[in-house]
Amino acid sequence: MDLDADMVAIARMKYPKIRFFQGNMIDFNLIRRFDAIVCLFSSIGYVRIKANLRKALKAMARHLREGGVLLVEPWFRPEQWDISHPRSLHADSMDLKITRMSLGGRRGNISTLDFHYLVGTPEGVEYFTEHHELGLFTHIEYMNAIHNANLEVFYDPKGLDGRGLYIGRKALK
């Protein structure tokens, strides 16, 4: 599931045998239940505010079967967000070169990111930008939101990439 219809269309073209849905993690309803739901790559930060964090986790919990598991990879916590240095990533192959530089900012508990891309191909070089805003939630806010979604909550401090991993489990009845 993705909020961006264009991303869903790309996924459907690449993987036509998999069902993809366009929707908002805050209030989606797929009218089915799952054994596992994953919210990775820090996408939970796009809910931006605590009220939406609670709504999103309740929506996810509603879609879990009894005994089902929810995995949430968090965005940075407020004390972790570092805006002091620009960052860059590079991809380099024979016919494709990509550089992404980012500058971070902050407005209260909203982190801002401005990505600047240079994409080089044999046809030329393109430049474009993206602006992102993600909520900065504390550990306690994540724990409480998962608990308030009626899930048993566990925390793995290492997680998948060093930011931790929140694990919610729906009780068996």
pLDDT, one tens digit per residue, over 96-153 is 999 999 999 999 999 999 999 999 999 999 999 999 999 999 999 999 999 999 999 9
What is the Cα–Cα distance from 30 to 21, expressed in whole angstroms?
8
Write down the pLDDT at residue 84: 87
Segment 82-86 shows an average pLDDT of 91
What is the Cα–Cα distance from 137 to 76, expressed in whole angstroms?
7
pLDDT, one tens digit per residue, over 6-53 is 999 999 999 999 999 999 999 999 999 999 999 999 999 999 999 999
Write down the pLDDT at residue 56: 98
Q: Are 173 and 66 in contact (CB under 8 A)?
A: yes
Segment 46-63 shows an average pLDDT of 98
What is the Cα–Cα distance from 5 to 49, expressed in whole angstroms?
23
For residue 110, what are its two tokens? Answer: 């909203």
SS3 51: helix
DSSP state of 158: S
pTM of the model: 0.91
SS3 12: helix
Delineate the domains of the chain, giving CATH numbers in brackets. 5-75+137-169 (3.40.50.150), 87-135 (2.20.130.10)
For residue 56, what are its two tokens? Answer: 């999103």
